[in-house]
Amino acid sequence: MSRHAALRLEEKPNDVLLATLDRPEVANAFDTGAALELCELFEPFQAEQRYRCVVVTGAGDRAFCAGADLKERNTLSDAQWRSQHETFERMFRAVRDCPVPVIAAVNGAAYAGGLELVLHCDFAYASASAKFALTEVSLGIMPGGGGTQTLPRVVGERRAKELILAARPFSAEEALAWGVVNRLCPPGRVVAEALEAAGRIAALAPLAVRQAKRAMREGLHRDLASAMQIEIDAYNRLVGTEDRREGLRAFNEKRKPKFSGR
């Protein structure tokens, strides 16, 4: 386990990493330092995929993440605010562009930037008691971590407008029904179930998982013909890999494959 000022990292079996936002005294809100720690975690994945799946959660059972630390923001000038927000933009971009799967384990409230963080993960599990909201317009700002773009893509334009323009909180049950989260978990089980899902992903061919993620991410908002070409390009990158050959050998030998990521 490694411990930073705001982020607790735990290596799990099968190259799974559990990253816990560890500022429970402020509902795991991220300040500039926490945002930089998330950048330092996720940006190196572009060059070296040490882990096969990442699970992100919050410390305690009250909050996943309440978004930006408003006590810190209360001290900032306009110029400092904009500078800080550039760091937040970098953080969200690092999570969004991570080539390996990222699962959110939403253990409590996910508000403002906390919900935006969930929406930048590949999918999410949530505690049945979790709550969600993009509350920014109630503070005189608006979502700036992708919320006006990611939420409509998940729940639809008209529902997203209701939620964002009215700063309307919504429940875990609504989040499940609308596709914001994939599963609701009993109290205390969300991290364990997210880690189980991460373990299933990590047991599969890592190059194939990354290319499948890339094809979905890059293709979903293109026209179908362009998206199909993105898929074929990703597929063809796997044909010459040792993992592709090992998968075929294992199938014909009726054994479990041993994928090496090569």
pTM over 0.85: yes
What is the pLDDT at residue 79? 93
One domain for residues 53 and 161: yes
State the angle between helix axes of 224-239 and 206-219 in degrees (0 to 180), rounded to the nearest 10. Answer: 160
Residue 261 to residues 42, 48, 193, 204, Cα–Cα distance (Å): 19, 12, 25, 10
Q: Is residue 119 assigned to a domain?
A: yes
Which one of 202, 223, 239 terminates a domain? 202
Please report, for the domain that includes residue 240, its CATH number: 1.10.12.10
Question: 18 and 138: one domain?
Answer: yes
238 and 176 in a common domain = no
Q: Which residues are catalytic?
A: 116, 136
> Same domain for 84 and 109?
yes
Does residue 261 sit within a domain?
Answer: no
Element (H, E) at 149: helix 147-155
- With a CB cutoff of 8 Å and minimum separation 6, the contacts of 100 are 45, 49, 51, 52, 53, 54, 206, 209, 210, 213
| pLDDT per residue rounded down to tens, the chain (262 residues) | 655 689 999 999 999 999 999 999 999 999 999 999 999 999 999 888 789 999 999 999 899 999 998 888 888 899 998 999 999 999 999 999 999 999 999 999 999 999 999 999 999 999 999 999 999 999 999 999 999 999 999 999 999 999 999 999 999 999 999 999 999 999 899 999 999 999 999 999 999 999 999 999 999 989 999 999 999 999 999 999 989 998 999 899 999 999 988 9
Cα–Cα distance for residue pair 255/245, rounded to 1 Å: 14
Domain count of the chain? 2
* Within a domain: 13: yes
Residue 49 has a pLDDT of 75
Whether 109 and 131 have beta carbons less than 8 Å apart is answered as yes
Give yes or no: residues 191 and 220 share one domain: no
- Max CA pair span of the chain: 65
Q: Whole domain around residue 99: which residue ranges? A: 2-202
Boundary-marking domain end, from 202, 219, 242:
202
Q: Could you tell me the CA-to-CA distances from 239 to 174, 207, 227, 256 in Å, in that order?
A: 41, 11, 19, 20
pLDDT for 133 equals 98
Give the pLDDT score at 177. 98
Contacts of 189 (CB under 8 A, 6+ apart): 127
pLDDT number for residue 71: 83
Residue 27 inside a domain? The answer is yes
What CATH code is carried by the domain that includes residue 158?
3.90.226.10
Instruction: Provide φ and ψ at 2, rounded to 5°.
Output: -120, 145
Same domain, residue pair 34 and 75: yes
146 and 217, same domain (yes or no) = no
Whether residue 213 sits in one domain with residue 196: no
Q: What is the pLDDT of residue 28?
A: 97
Same domain (yes/no): 68, 151: yes
State the pLDDT at residue 1: 61
Same-domain status, 214 and 182: no
260 located within any domain: no
Dist CA 254 CA 5 (whole Å): 48
